[in-house]
């Protein structure tokens, strides 16, 4: 690789790499990132995967060139999910891993998710800033011999076994499950799981929707968190007579759940469900959660005899919290779920399996299991406000409420609690947005009133 000229790279974000194709992210930039990744980590073997976008194959090839310039053996996963990269990095004893993916971002975007040895997260302080600096200044060490691409081998079979180890297959009852891959990367991996489930005698039956990977996304970008994208899965669940539905984002490190009526299950209640599932398996365990909506999770964990621990929002923080505390599980309301026995990484396949096991054990529909929790702790869901001056807007809300608060927490943004309600207000890491969450103790009307009052203050 010739000596690269300095170049400011705006595709580096707080936790990963994301940018618009062209000036922000192109083959040359991907090559720089691959080279810098190898040099900063001192890597000799790196796992490389990609999602199904046409640009992902091109960018992955460029990143591989940069890695090989640094003498790296690139262990190629091909089309795969981000969590398969996490698994393969540890399973193969590699020095790091990269998935080229834009996940749920629009067509004109792409990006990379990266880990170091042991599938440990790479944040700004643990290598990402250094990778960015080297990729920008281009002061690479002399090229090294020995770089090559080799197939990663059949790591998917080992991955399937690890994922299935989280559930007691004998406890599963006959359930019909609607799965929507959104034409992303999930389809082939799900099929491998379903095939092994059938081989082991599982009574689960699946209905597939938008299952084939197609980087053109003929049915829309796979982002089930958007309300406008949820009806297609909801209708399919009802039409199939399914017990519940699952929809994934593009690289399937997140999954989203729907009950048998087609109702979307907000992520904060899924965190409570999975906390219950793990505490039944491991009494007294620690559970990590993000600080946005916490009362339902805290109540579930306390009732089950566990210990709830709050962490800053973001995958690097949740993963590190699991590593630091030994917590069995960590969850974010944004549908990222992290598992101690899955390298403390997130998975979009483990959660729905655990929910199937929980439904089987409880003998109740998912809607009925959740009805009590949603009534006990209503929440607003995350509401975004685009504002010119984020700090000024937060200050107005703080002045209005802080003096009367019974508890104040600044783990992530501003959280103020009162006897019967609570809110979290935090700035986006990447946009001029304020994100608001309100929760109450059994009063849905209070949720609406407090959202309206805070919204008026934000302006």
pLDDT tens-digit series, residues 118-148: 999 998 788 999 999 999 999 999 999 999 9
Quickly state the pLDDT bin for 15 (edges 50, 70, 90): confident
pLDDT over 60 (residue 2) = no
Q: pLDDT by residue (tens digit) across 90-110?
A: 999 999 999 999 999 999 999
Assess contact for 396 and 453: CB atoms under 8 A. no
Residue 126: per-residue pLDDT: 80
Judge whether 265-350 and 383-458 match in fold: no
Give 4's pLDDT tier (boundaries 50, 70, 90): low
CATH superfamily of the 174-264 domain: Alpha-D-Glucose-1,6-Bisphosphate, subunit A, domain 3 (3.40.120.10)
The CATH T-level fold of domain 17-154 is Alpha-D-Glucose-1,6-Bisphosphate; Chain A, domain 3 (3.40.120)
Domain ranges of the chain: 17-154, 174-264, 265-350, 383-458
- The domain 265-350: what is its CATH number? 3.40.120.10
* Residue tagged active-site, from 55, 56, 90, 103: 103
Within 10 angstroms of residue 146's Cβ, the number of other Cβ atoms is: 10
Average pLDDT over the chain, rounded to an integer: 96
pLDDT at res. 407: 97
Percent of the residues in the chain that have a pLDDT greater than 90, as a whole number: 94
103 included as an active-site residue? yes
Please state which of the four CATH numbers 3.40.47.10, 3.40.50.10420, 3.30.300.30, 3.30.310.50 is assigned to the domain occupying 383-458: 3.30.310.50
For position 428, what pLDDT does the model report?
83
Mean pLDDT of 255-268: 97
pTM of the model: 0.95
Q: What percent of the chain has pLDDT over 70?
A: 99
Q: For the segment 16-63, what is each residue's pLDDT rounded down to a tens digit?
A: 999 999 999 999 999 999 999 999 999 999 999 999 999 999 999 999
**Residue 315: per-residue pLDDT:** 87
pLDDT tens digits along 195-253: 999 999 999 999 999 999 999 999 999 999 999 999 999 999 999 999 999 999 999 99
For position 218, what pLDDT does the model report?
96
Residue 1, pLDDT > 50, answer no
């Amino acid at each position: 690789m010739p000596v690269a000229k300095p170049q400011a790279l705006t595709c580096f974000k707080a936790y990963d790499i994301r940018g618009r194709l062209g000036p922000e992210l192109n083959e040359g930039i991907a090559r720089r990132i691959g080279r810098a990744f190898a040099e900063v980590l001192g890597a000799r073997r790196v796992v490389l995967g990609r999602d199904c976008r046409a640009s992902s194959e091109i960018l992955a090839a460029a990143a591989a060139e940069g890695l090989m310039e640094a003498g790296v053996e690139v262990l190629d996963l091909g089309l795969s999910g981000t969590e398969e990269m996490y698994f393969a990095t540890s399973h193969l004893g590699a020095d790091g891993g990269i998935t080229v993916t834009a996940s749920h971002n629009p067509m004109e975007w792409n990006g990379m998710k990266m880990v170091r040895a042991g599938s440990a997260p790479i944040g700004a302080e643990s290598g990402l800033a250094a990778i960015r600096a080297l990729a920008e200044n281009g002061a690479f060490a002399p090229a090294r011999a020995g770089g090559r691409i080799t197939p990663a081998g059949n790591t998917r079979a080992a991955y399937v076994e690890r994922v299935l180890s989280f559930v007691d297959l004998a406890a599963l009852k006959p359930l019909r499950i609607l799965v929507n891959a959104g034409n992303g990367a999930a389809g082939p991996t799900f099929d491998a799981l379903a095939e092994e489930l059938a081989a082991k005698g599982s009574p689960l039956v699946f209905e597939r929707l938008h299952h084939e990977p197609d980087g053109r996304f003929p049915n829309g970008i796979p982002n089930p968190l958007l309300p406008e994208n949820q009806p297609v899965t909801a209708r399919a669940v009802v039409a199939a007579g399914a017990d519940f539905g699952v929809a994934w984002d593009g690289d399937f490190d997140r999954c989203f759940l729907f009950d048998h009526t087609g109702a979307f299950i907000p992520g904060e209640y899924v965190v409570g469900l999975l906390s219950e599932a793990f505490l039944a398996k491991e009494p007294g365990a620690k559970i990590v959660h993000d600080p946005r909506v916490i009362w339902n999770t805290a109540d579930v964990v306390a009732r089950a005899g566990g210990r709830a621990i709050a962490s800053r929002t973001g995958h690097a923080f949740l993963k590190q919290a699991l590593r630091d505390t030994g917590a069995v599980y960590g969850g974010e309301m944004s549908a990222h779920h992290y598992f101690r026995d899955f390298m403390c990484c997130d998975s979009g396949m483990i959660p729905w399996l655990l929910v199937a096991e929980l439904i089987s054990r409880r003998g109740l529909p998912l809607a009925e299991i959740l009805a009590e929790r949603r009534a006990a702790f209503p929440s607003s869901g995350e509401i975004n406000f685009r504002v010119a001056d984020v700090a000024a807007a937060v200050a107005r809300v703080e002045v209005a409420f802080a003096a009367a608060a019974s508890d104040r927490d600044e783990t992530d943004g501003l959280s103020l609690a009162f006897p019967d309600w609570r809110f979290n207000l935090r700035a986006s890491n990447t946009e001029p947005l304020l994100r608001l969450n309100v929760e109450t103790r059994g009063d849905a009307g209070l949720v609406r009133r407090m959202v309206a009052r805070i919204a008026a203050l934000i302006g």
